[in-house]
Amino acid sequence: MEKGSLYIVATPIGNLGDLTFRAKEILESVDLIACEDTRHASILLNHYKINKPRLSFHSHSGRTKVDKIMDYLKNGSDVALISDAGTPGISDPGYVLIQAALDDGVEVIPIPGPSAVITALCASGLPTDKFLYLGFLPTKKGRQTLFKKIADSEYTVVFYESPHRLIKTLTQLKDFLSPDSKVVVAKELTKIYETFYRGSISDVIKQIPEKPKGEYVIMIKS
């Protein structure tokens, strides 16, 4: 029996209008949609009136879930993998399933679209010909070493940060960066409260509200 294909489908990072035509076509055509969170996925899928069977697949999904999805693929079903926002596999679940699919000779097809890292970088005004993406920084061990690496990097460095750690991270980074380092923090990209804070690290810290809310990408060019 011919195996199905695994489609890695990027979905909007806030603005529902950012789903590509091809992503919509694929989501309408597959037999199963593996979603990071089925309830969260319903917002997008209902908006586009896409009514396909859904299965949850998240970072804590074990081997059983991977095997279940692999059974669909091996039995000829096409499966789309989506995350809560942006591109699956980019600081989001996907790697284990993609690796299992490749190991079993299943075709893995990327359907490109939004990702917060690229969306933030392209409007940052920082050099983007080369950049270093660090995902989420560690919350405990290894932060100081990484801050030093960020400060020493010849490339623009970009990483994700949660709202409740944003000020702490920027304040700690301040001790490592030179005053001429350029910092850009992108908030709530593609959403109503989209904001870019730009300047030196001290300037940026001053601009950020005391109790930040929303989603953030931090970019630094030392």
- Footprint on this chain of ligand SAM (rule: CB under 6 A): 13-14, 83, 85-87, 90-92, 115-117, 160-162, 186, 188-191, 215-217
How far apart, in Å, do the first and last CA atoms of the chain sit?
Answer: 55
Indicate the residue among 78 and 215 with the shorter CB distance to ligand SAM: 215
Question: Residue 52's CB: how many other CB atoms inside 10 A?
Answer: 13
Rounded least distance, CB 76 to ligand SAM, Å: 28
Rounded least distance, CB 213 to ligand SAM, Å: 12
Q: Which residue is nearest to ligand SAM (CB)?
A: 86
The 8 Å CB, 24+ separation contacts for 24-27 are: 24/48, 24/50, 26/80, 26/111, 27/52, 27/80, 27/82
Indicate the residue among 22 and 74 with the shorter CB distance to ligand SAM: 22
Rounded least distance, CB 3 to ligand SAM, Å: 26
Indicate the residue among 46 and 162 with the shorter CB distance to ligand SAM: 162
Backbone angles phi, psi at 105, to 5 degrees: 75, 25
Indicate the residue among 77 and 91 with the shorter CB distance to ligand SAM: 91
Give the 3-state secondary structure of residue 29. Answer: helix
Rounded least distance, CB 136 to ligand SAM, Å: 7
Rounded least distance, CB 19 to ligand SAM, Å: 14
Backbone angles phi, psi at 97, to 5 degrees: -70, -45
Question: Residue 193's CB: how many other CB atoms inside 10 A?
Answer: 10
